[in-house]
A and B are shown apart, each in its own frame.
Chain A
Amino acid sequence: MEITALDKKIIKALQEDLPLSEEPFREIANTLQIDEKELLNKIQYYIDEGIIRRFGAVIRHRKTGFTANAMVVWKADPDKTKEIGKKMAEFPEVSHCYERPVYPEWPYNLFTMVHGRSKQDCYEIAQRIGETVDIHEYSLLFSSEELKKTSMKYFMDEN
């Protein structure tokens, strides 16, 4: 999709916080000086096209009971990463699954984010995944500190 000046204006508004008023979209539409219906149609279009991956509440999982998460990195056969990645993605405890490049000091080519209620939980989930895809060289990286977590702001240097 080609992103027009109007799209950029709308996207910039939707990456902010939705007003907690009875008619939040009308409020945004008024600010953008467009019709509310047009705004609602645009948002639905962005969702259908996958430009908006999801619309709704972004929550801090650390505060909701899913307290432990681990980045589990896997040394997978480079010829089988697609097949293995798909299998890993089927686990409900896996929220993200990517293939990434390797380095001399970094042999792991598959990355999964695994969520559990405790570190022990994460180890057990990783073990189950490992057994399913028959990979036994993997490592769990837990975060010891969150230094930054924000949402990306797009098109900020454009009017």
Chain B
Amino acid sequence: MNQLDKELLTMIQKDFPIVERPYKYIANELQLTEKEVINRIKNLKEEGIIRRLGGVFDSRKLGYYSTLCAIKVPKEDLDEVATIINKIPGVTHNYLRNHQYNMWFTLIGPSEEYIQETLEEIKRKSGIEDLMNLPSKNFFKVEVKFNLMEV
């Protein structure tokens, strides 16, 4: 990734232009051609740096519920439990972390009942009772944009 790619990424992470020719608009800002912008974005996708280009939605405003969960999984069962959890479409993130609650995942669903039922299902299928449901009570910040120029 060179300086120009970083500049491009910094710009299109948040201020992607909602206009008829967005890549041309970006090109004008960065003094590139429309084709160059399209090709650079294509490369950044192929390199796996850009996961997706599109809308990131506020699940609550769409009437969805979300939560963070932590589960205590015995080491020998990690693969099996990960498979059970990752198969659920509403599980968007899942990480192993250095704690006795070692598997942390986020779950999004259309209702609180869906969340409850899904967590019960995870407990039943994994045989693990020790699962914490940690829905947010207050949120103070959600911001995923980074200024890549500082990297």
Contact = CB atoms under 8 A, between A and B. Distances in A.
What is the interface residue range for chain A against chain B? 35 or more
A121 interface: no
Contacts of A152: 57, 59, 64, 90, 92, 108
Given A71-B104, A152-B59, A152-B90, A82 B53 contact: no
A14 B18 CA distance: 12
A63 B18 contact: no
B15 interface: yes
B21 interface: yes
Given A148-B92, A152-B90, A58 B52 contact: yes
A38 interface: no
B34 to A, nearest CB: 6
Contacts of B22: 24-25
Interface in A112-159: 115, 139, 141-156
B97 A89 contact: no
Interface string B114-145: 00000000000000000010111111111111
Given A95-B144, A148-B94, A100 B136 contact: yes
A25 B93 CA distance: 29
Given A15-B55, A106-B132, A97 B101 contact: no
A153 B57 CA distance: 10
Counting chain B CB atoms within 10 Å of each CB, the highest count among A26, A141, A147 belongs to: A147
Contacts of A155: 62
A79 to B, nearest CB: 13
Contacts of B105: 147-148
B57 A59 contact: no
B21 A22 contact: yes
A142 B95 CA distance: 9
A60 B98 contact: no
A98 B55 contact: no
Contact of B54 (A17, A60, A147): A17
A148 B91 contact: yes
Contacts of A111: 68, 134
Given A14-B55, A100-B68, A60 B49 contact: yes
22 contacts: A11-B62, A15-B55, A17-B52, A24-B23, A25-B20, A40-B18, A51-B62, A54-B13, A57-B12, A57-B16, A59-B51, A63-B49, A89-B140, A141-B99, A142-B98, A145-B96, A148-B82, A148-B105, A152-B90, A152-B92, A154-B64, A156-B89
Those 7 A-B pairs whose CB atoms lie nearest each other, nearest first: A65-B151, A56-B16, A89-B141, A14-B55, A85-B140, A148-B94, A143-B95
